[in-house]
A and B are shown apart, each in its own frame.
Chain A
């Protein structure tokens, strides 16, 4: 849809983005506030960041969260990519409808239901709650997000490329790793990042499935937020926002570069064949 980009459109975009970003900007700004009263500005200071790093409980929780997020994102990316391939490549297999239902349902399922049901499963099979139960829970819901992201890339993928590789004698396995995977790699990477941030972010499911010794950062933040707004929490949040924003920006730069490279390769190939 192109055409006139009227004043109304520009105004609604400006207002919309202001609404989306202002709260986050204010939070970041007030993490550098000197006063303990979060809403009264009394001068620039980084002392809350210094205090943060001496807070053992918070640091431990951050470490647990980082490990859970890394492990769950990695497993979820493998499982989610497999699921996406199953859904796009194999249009007919027994129980496909149930399978696609199970892939899409977790995207909208209220977290309290997912969390409660997983906890009851772990209790029923007598699985000790802790690091691994949180990780399994995170794999389960984030693999569905990965599957959706990868699936949409797979659908726009030209299948004749893989067929050509097969005709030239590659085994399907080899064709996948040497032809398909490199092409869908940007989607796989962004799926991993999405899974990582979803895990980093999750409070509700982690609260249900966690056990002693596996308190994650959102759980820690939540227990402190309930007591009120504090500058330390603003500082933690700012650091988290910083990490995520850096990750997203780096990823988008990499994808853009790959895109440019790919286009150049295509042009070169076109010139040779012409």
Chain B
């Protein structure tokens, strides 16, 4: 009896989370795809269904024939959307590189720190991640706005005479993304750098490498897994970011997450926002696969 119960428990351990994710993670994507193919309508829910189970098989075939990819053509035709996709990718890419440049020295410094204080440093990097994302973005409004703290400080020191306009520009979005996602970059970098064998660098130095060339020829290539994981962890969510461009960026900066939000909440166009989401997902599928692979590899190595 006990053995029987245990066998059932083993099944359940797999089946319950599996089913949950199938129903609440995978199935919703199929619905998004379905609705992206339907026409908008002035009703609740505001779209004409593309398929209906009640139609039966013949009805289904009929529907597939008339299926409308209209939303996609419309999206790809409208420069507003193509520009939003391109500028999202650009902004996310640039901020990922800045985050890498800012995060690498921090991770390196942590990995080189005396072993006794490393856990504390790690905790200090993780702690801001626990505080609300929204709050951290909000904090920058007070700093960056024309009469904000940064401008007050710069004018006080006499570096500038007129307040810098940073809030509501793309620069503010860069600052916001770098700031919010920095821990995501530092943690994977730190974990690869910390495991690195110091004697390799010593060997390179003994063989006549300068400090800098030892870094670029030994340390950096060995830390590439961490670099890839960190960059993916920053880049992928940043492409679809909504809160940062909405609060820090101006109305002229286009990012696709914000476009989707406006399309959905302000224009109530569900089919178009679904099509926007499907294309965004298609753009991100390669980076997501890269991320999965790097995760799987590091898990295998950890065994």
Contacts and interface: CB of A to CB of B under 8 A. Distances in A.
Contacts of A93: 14
A110 interface: yes
Query: Looking at chain A's contact residues, is the secondary structure mostly helix, strand, loop, or mixed?
Result: helix
Contacts of A207: 265
Interface string B270-290: 100110010011001001100
Interface stretch (A24-32, A44-52, A265-273): A24-32
B302 A152 contact: yes
Q: Could you say which of A19, A103, A108, A156 has the most chain B C-beta atoms within 10 Å of its C-beta? A: A108
A216 to B, nearest CB: 11
Given A82-B17, A110-B237, A117 B29 contact: yes
A248 interface: yes
Contact of A200 (B132, B277, B280, B287): B132
Contacts of B121: 13
Contacts of A13: 106, 109-110, 113, 121
B91 interface: no
A181 B288 CA distance: 32
Interface of A: 1-6, 8-10, 12-13, 16-17, 19-21, 23-24, 26-27, 30, 38-39, 79-80, 82-83, 85-86, 89-90, 93, 95, 99-114, 116-118, 120-121, 123-124, 136-137, 139-140, 143, 147, 151-152, 155-156, 171-173, 194, 197, 200-201, 203-204, 207-208, 218, 221-222, 225-226, 229, 233-234, 237, 240-241, 244-245, 248, 252
B264 A116 contact: yes
A2 B202 CA distance: 12
The secondary-structure label for the interface of chain B is helix
A12 B106 contact: yes
Contacts of B16: 79, 82
A2 B232 CA distance: 28
Interface in B235-250: 236-237, 239-243, 247
Contacts of A12: 105-106, 108-109
Contacts of B232: 108
Contacts of B106: 12-13, 16-17
Given A9-B112, A237-B132, A23 B277 contact: no
Contacts of B295: 104
A121 B143 contact: no
A136 B24 CA distance: 8
Nearest to B18: A99
A21 B128 contact: yes
